[in-house]
Chains A and B, each alone.
Chain A
């Protein structure tokens, strides 16, 4: 089982994706979906040897809703800065975010979240993978931004990923 399905979550995701792509519920689509869901994880497993350990898949769904909401809020904030803030008053800052997370999948998710949410952008990671370099568009108080990222997103991801 383990060798046939190295990434069960990926297999499930690919099956759902295929159904969304063909936009119809037919038995033929299911066959194709299962074939793709089996073959793609198999041929890509060389580049993804470890399996992510997800402890609470439902908390992951709640996290997605939270991030989606924050993306919308982020748009309003960035739009306001772009439109109304005088150029010389925009206080951009670099922020180092030390990481508690260790799983690569969790770190990727955190980095993506940071980029999509209020005025922050993941720019780089330390060579050892234990800190993220974040650029903030307008952050008069960089430390508060760092604490916010750690409390709002990283703590949740830590609970989701074992």
Chain B
């Protein structure tokens, strides 16, 4: 690649990196600023995903100038997308069980309680 293209790529990747960093920061700031536990859950699940995602994208494309793409970063992004909802669900269920979730939880509308609050697990 020509030096000009190389510089353009560097600038582009730096911009993504800074943007991702800002989102990660906002996510952490959300943890501090939002008043209720259920609201605080929203900040890290979303803002952090794009923060880490941006860093990984840059890492994967960094060697593009030498004609290489690193695929492992794609894998990390995939695992992140798969695991973030699971940990968020666990945290939400913990809050519900401890009675620290927002008040006013609605009925499930199916005649059965929410799984976390059910007395015994219904056999599948």
Binding site for B on A (CB under 8 A): 17, 19-21, 23, 71-72, 74-75, 78-79, 82-83, 87, 90, 92, 94-96, 98, 111-112, 114-116, 119, 121-131, 133, 135, 137
Contacts and interface: CB of A to CB of B under 8 A. Distances in A.
Contacts of B101: 123, 135
Nearest to A120: B42
Interface string B58-85: 0000000000001110110000011011
Contacts, number: 143
Interface of B: 23, 26-27, 29-30, 33-36, 38-39, 41-43, 45-47, 49-50, 70-72, 74-75, 81-82, 84-86, 88-89, 92-93, 95-96, 101-102, 104-116, 118, 121-122, 124
Nearest to B35: A87
A131 B112 CA distance: 10
A33 B114 CA distance: 40
A114 B89 CA distance: 11
A121 B42 contact: yes
A128 B110 contact: yes
B26 A83 contact: yes
Contact of A124 (B30, B33, B92, B122): B92
Chain A binding site: helix, strand, loop or mixed by DSSP? mixed
A95 B115 contact: no
A75 B71 CA distance: 24
A137 B46 CA distance: 12
Given A78-B47, A114-B85, A125-B115, 7 more contacts: A75-B46, A82-B29, A121-B41, A123-B93, A127-B114, A128-B122, A131-B109
Contact of A122 (B35, B92, B105): B92
A127 B113 contact: yes
A94 B106 contact: yes
Contacts of B112: 126-128, 130
